[in-house]
Every structure is written in structure tokens, then in C-alpha cells.
Amino acid sequence: MGFFSFIGSCISGVCSAVGSFISGACSVFTKAVAGIAGIATGALSVVLGPLGPILGPIIANLIIKVIGAVLFKLAKLLHITKEEEKPEEVGYRVDEASRHEDWKKREEFASFQDYYDYLRQQIPDEEIDQDKLNKNSGAYRIIGSSTLYHEIGEEEGMDLPGEFMMDIGRGKLSAEEVKTVLKTFKDLKVDGKSIADYWEGNMTFREEKPITEALRTAFAVLYPEKSKEEINDRLDDIRSATRGTIDNGDSLETLKRLYKDEISQMEQERADIAKSGDSDALREFDRVK
């Protein structure tokens, strides 16, 4: 699968991953990702907006930001990107590159760092359309995150499913936890595509058991200060958050607990804006960005 094709399918996988929380928006999203450039039109807000009845735009925004921050950090740990690069700027440049058939392709470079240095030359910082970037920052963050996710999979030699990218946000996994999960699946020689199946409960008990035991061991190494019960609780939280449906109150409660501090802060910010009576600012705050 080509570079841009993967990103499109990866973003489509994110749609599938949140499908249990939304209604009627996936077809809009699918049309948008048919051409990667279509993401920058604001379709992302259309897709994630219906999360409102369950999680609301506040959690939707938090999940998107966590995905970008975690993948960005992991990409740096794996020496895929440089420190100064931001997911939304990566997304902006990758999106612009998809519009230029005459530009060099990712496949022509030995590494993503080399490719992105080329994109920086094609689009210097001062030539970034900041209004466009700010207006579609959520969409560009998803494109950038998908790009980094693709490169992480390439670096690890794994065929990663798009759905797992959303699971990272819903489970609030850290970069170190994601790295541990990927290594565990590699060591078990389990197909990378099965990662989302595991977290989202699409495996039989017999298939799940050896993976769970391996993850417990790996997380114990990652967190030597934690007890066995704390390790089990953390893995249970990730499973609960990623296996939720519209009728799953446990999943919603887990998400609210995982994001408790962030939700409280953002709810206060929203309340302050609402109190000011600035309806335009309130709509902007509620937009997934």
C-alpha cells in the first residue's frame, strides 16, 4: 500500500474505531478521505461532532490531542522525526504534498526525516497558511498523526491497523506504553493487525490469554514500582476504554476517569466562555480542533 493510501485507510480506520459512538457521519468521512486533501475541508468536525451525545466535543478534542502528542513523542524516541516538528504542521505539509504530482514522493527517500526535510524546503515555515492551519488544526493533526503512525509501523516492521490509533487516545496510552505494546505483539509474532482486535475485544478467550499474560509481564518491567494489582488495573482500564459502545456505561466512566483533570479544566474554560455571552467563542471552543 502506498504512503498516501495508507494514511487515507488509517484515517478511515479511526472512523471505524469511533463508529460505535457516532451516527450517520461515516459516509461523509469516507468521501472526505477518498482524496487525502479532502480532510482539510473541515470534514473531521462533521465526523467527530456526533460524539457529543456520549462523550462531547471536550473528550473528542482531548483524545485527538493525546493521539498526536503520543505518536509525536514515540516518533522522536524512534528517531523518525526531529524535536521541533508538530503533528499539525506535519499534516499540513503532507496534505499539501498530496496535491502536487510533480513533487518527490515519500518512497524516493531513505527515511521520513529526509522526506520531511524536503517538504520543509517546498513549504518553509513562513509560507504556511496559518489561517488555514488554525481553522483545520484538528484535521491536520489527524493527518500528521496518521503519517507518524505509518512511519512507526514501518520502523517496527508491523502492519498496524488504523483503529489502534484511536485506541491509543481512548486508552490514554503513553508513548512508552505504546512502544511496550508493539514490542509485546512483535515478540509473540502476532500480526500487527490483531492489536486493535485484542484491545477492542474481538478475540476469543484462548487467543487473548497469552497476549494478556505477556502484556502483564511487559508492563511490570515498564512499571517496576507498581504492584501486580496496579498493573492489572491499568490494563483493565485500557480494555474498558477501548471496548466501549453507546450502551456501555463502564467504558464512558473509564474515559471520564482517565481524563478527569483535563475534562475539569476544559469544562471550566467552557463555563467561563459561556458566562461571557460570546456565542462565537463558544462555538469555536466546541469545534473539534
- Band (16; pLDDT cuts 50, 70, 90): very low
Return the pLDDT at 238.
92
- Mean pLDDT within 44-62: 48
| Helix H or strand E encompassing 269 | helix 260-276
Return the pLDDT at 45.
37
Return the pLDDT at 143.
83
Return the pLDDT at 135.
81
* Rounded CA separation 137/49 (Å): 15
- Band (174; pLDDT cuts 50, 70, 90): very high
17-21, 58-62, 164-168, 175-179 — most confident range: 175-179
Instruction: Give whole-number Cα distances, 39 to 6, 65, 138, 159, 253, in Å.
Output: 14, 17, 10, 23, 31
Return the pLDDT at 15.
46
Q: In this predicted model, what pLDDT tens digit does every residue of 265-284 receive, in sequence order?
A: 887 888 899 899 998 888 87
Counting the structural domains of the chain, the total is 1
**Measuring CA to CA, which residue among 181, 98, 92, 200 is closest to residue 142?**
92
- Band (51; pLDDT cuts 50, 70, 90): very low
Return the pLDDT at 119.
95
Q: In this predicted model, what pLDDT tens digit does every residue of 89-102 receive, in sequence order?
A: 998 998 889 888 89
**C-beta separation of 223 from 215 below 8 A:** no
Does residue 22 register a pLDDT over 50? no
3-state secondary structure at position 193: coil
- Whether this prediction's pTM lies above 0.85 is answered by no
Per-residue burial over 147-161, b if 16 or more Cβ lie within 10 Å, else e, is: bbbbbbbbbbebebb
Return the pLDDT at 189.
92
Range of the domain at 254: 3-286
* Rounded CA separation 16/13 (Å): 5
- Mean pLDDT within 144-172: 87
* Rounded CA separation 44/60 (Å): 11
Q: Average per-residue pLDDT in the chain? A: 78
Instruction: Give whole-number Cα distances, 275 to 21, 94, 171, 261, 262, in Å.
Output: 29, 39, 32, 21, 20
**C-beta separation of 108 from 81 below 8 A:** no
Q: Within the chain, how many helices (H) and strands (E) appear?
A: 16, 0
Q: Say which range, 21-35, 149-163, 259-273, has the weakest mean pLDDT.
A: 21-35
2-6, 51-55, 269-273 — most confident range: 269-273
- Mean pLDDT within 248-255: 68
